[in-house]
Structure 1
Amino acid sequence: MHHGFADTRHGQVHLVEEGAGAPVLLLHQTPRSVDEYRDVLPLLGRRVRAIALDTLGYGLSAKPSGEWSIELFADGVVDVCDALRLDRVTVVGHHTGAVVATEVAASVPDRVEALVLSGMPYVDARRRHQVATGRPPIDAVTRAGDGSHLRALWENRAPYYPADRPDLLERLVRDALAVIDRVEEGHEAVNRYRMEDRIGRVTARTLVLCGELDTFSLPDVEKIVAAIPGAVAEILPGTGVPSVDHRPDLVADAVLRFLEAAPAT
């Protein structure tokens, strides 16, 4: 895999790529990094040019000092396309990355060839109300001198991760520590996003993916499919929220089958 950086209006974005051919951008969930796609990249790279980005604020990318938003994250993705001279791309996003991918496809529809939305929540007025009236934060912790906040990070996510794969949670906690002071801001950006005003602008051929154990996003699959004309869905067996790094084989296979299928007429 090849590492690099691209200049954007908000600072440099770190990227990792493998393979050649049609460009496929990979956007991670909060608070991850390109590490989330480390096992997907070589699988996709056999047939396409797979490029994973550290979203602005995460991993080795620049950390803007102002408020983080889905629109800011999407600006970074579009600027990476400009820097790499990519006129048309496929965008694959997981959880927060899927929301960012939606905004990219809505803001520059002429540049998005295809879209894969993995584990994406449908963010509308009802969801925003639920969050505002008591839904607990996902990753927010208070730094403690005895290091107990590390255990809190683990325990917050443990219910969504397979008990026999502690390595997956270790990777998430490592990424979370890199943004510990702003670890919840990606989720907050998602919950401010007015998806209902933007998703109807998506014109790209779209695949909606979700793990069958992803109780967080699975209930929204039908809403997303209904909101994007021609969108199709696929449910991945035996995996949930961490589907990208838990079952990279299933994710890569689903993406490649979708990209290689003839568009509906």
Structure 2
Amino acid sequence: MTAIQRAYASDALGQLHYAEAGAGPALLLIGETPRSHRFFEPLLPLLAPTVRAIAVDLPGLGNSHGLPQPMSVRAIAACMVEFFDALGIERAHVFGMHTGNKVAAALAADWPERVDRLVLAGQTHSLFPETERRNAALAPSFARYRTAAGEPIEGDALREWLRTKLTLDTTWWPDALLVGRESARTIANAEARSIDFLLGWRSAVPIYHAVFALDLAEAVARIEAPSLVLELTTPQEGHYGLQGERLAGLMKHAMTQTIPVTFLAAMEEQTAEIADALLTFLNLEIINVHQ
């Protein structure tokens, strides 16, 4: 098993934490809110025989510094450029999942010289080109970080802390664990999710607001990099219809692929399929990816 190394890189706002494994072409992995590098720990060993896979804790998440101000997806993408500079990376492949696909799109659109190939991945709700439809589809995910009254988490400290505790409970006790399925692995996954939630919950609301404000259609239309829109489909979101082809249709050099996944657990339970799709698109040899 390839060892995962953890370290910090400095930018203008402080230090960004990351985990990496392997050697070869650089591949930046950007995850969902409020996940850190732990989100990609199952994937890193599968990529390491082929690439230098680098999973970054975004600003405000994991062990990285706080959010940039004023806050926007483009401001987070600017931190990724400084992250590249700190690691001496001129150009890299970039993979973004959910929030990460928005940051990756902004990075590729605003700094095309820094992105080689691009993968925008996510479940269907994350891939709507239209801002209003995407934000409506994201609303259930955002709801766990809002008060019962529907206001952003701010104000009364006890109410805020109670809301956080109730949300953490659902992370600590996932449905799969309650029915006794693969308990050891499920507990490890729940632990990683819970740690990330505790480290990043205060940043979740401003990150979601930044995502809501991003014109994804405008950003992807400016992307020059060869791109893959990787749509992770679930029965729960079948009523939306496939959105990957619609998003890719706005891009200059994009293709699409779909992978049916387990709802909310794709990176943990279908890691090999995602690794296969990613490395195949990057035109890289798949080495021991299923071991």
| Mapped contact 1:161–1:169 kept (Cα < 8 A) | no
**Counterpart residue number, 2:130:** 124
**Counterpart residue number, 2:117:** 114
**Counterpart residue number, 1:25:** 28
**Counterpart residue number, 2:164:** 149
Cα separation, partners in 2 of 1:13 and 1:206, compared to 1, 3 Å? same
| Mapped contact 2:30–2:96 kept (Cα < 8 A) | yes
Query: 1:84: how far off?
Result: 1.2
Cα distance in 1 for residues equivalent to 2:107 and 2:176: 28
Q: Deviations over 1:100-124 (max 9, x none)?
A: 0000000111221100111043353
Query: 1:136: how far off?
Result: 7.4
- Tell which deviates more after alignment, 186-195 or 176-185: 176-185
1:226 corresponds to which of 249, 260, 279? 249
| Mapped contact 2:97–2:120 kept (Cα < 8 A) | yes
Q: Deviations over 1:17-63 (max 9, x none)?
A: 11111000000100100000001111101111101100011101001
**Counterpart residue number, 1:198:** 219
One-letter amino acid matched to 1:124: E
**Counterpart residue number, 1:237:** 260
Cα separation, partners in 2 of 1:172 and 1:67, compared to 1, 3 Å? farther
**Counterpart residue number, 1:81:** 84
Cα separation, partners in 2 of 1:40 and 1:156, compared to 1, 3 Å? closer
Residue 215 (1) aligns with residue 267 (2): no
> How many percent identity over aligned positions?
29
Alignment TM-score, normalising by the size of structure 1: 0.85
**Counterpart residue number, 1:175:** 196
Gaps of 5+ in 2: 148-157, 286-291
Cα distance in 2 for residues equivalent to 1:197 and 1:160: 38
Gaps of 5+ in 1: none
**Counterpart residue number, 2:142:** 137
Query: What is the DSSP-based 3-state SS (H/G/I as helix, E as strand, rest coil) of the residue aligned with 1:140?
Result: coil
Alignment TM-score, normalising by the size of structure 2: 0.78
One-letter amino acid matched to 1:183: A
One-letter amino acid matched to 2:50: R
How many aligned positions are there? Answer: 261
Query: What is the DSSP-based 3-state SS (H/G/I as helix, E as strand, rest coil) of the residue aligned with 2:249?
Result: helix
Query: What is the DSSP-based 3-state SS (H/G/I as helix, E as strand, rest coil) of the residue aligned with 1:122?
Result: coil
Cα distance in 2 for residues equivalent to 1:128 and 1:236: 20
Listed as ranges, the matches of 1:45-124 within 5 Å are 45-64=48-67, 66-119=69-122, 120-122=126-128, 124=130
Q: CA RMSD in A?
A: 3.2
Residue 10 (1) aligns with residue 37 (2): no
- Tell which deviates more after alignment, 43-52 or 206-215: 206-215
**Counterpart residue number, 2:152:** none
Cα separation, partners in 2 of 1:192 and 1:59, compared to 1, 3 Å? same
Query: What is the DSSP-based 3-state SS (H/G/I as helix, E as strand, rest coil) of the residue aligned with 2:142?
Result: coil
One-letter amino acid matched to 1:205: P
Cα distance in 2 for residues equivalent to 1:66 and 1:56: 11
Query: What is the DSSP-based 3-state SS (H/G/I as helix, E as strand, rest coil) of the residue aligned with 2:89?
Result: coil
Cα separation, partners in 2 of 1:189 and 1:3, compared to 1, 3 Å? same
Cα distance in 1 for residues equivalent to 2:74 and 2:50: 30
Query: 1:180: how far off?
Result: 2.8
Query: 1:150: how far off?
Result: 2.8
| Mapped contact 2:129–2:247 kept (Cα < 8 A) | no
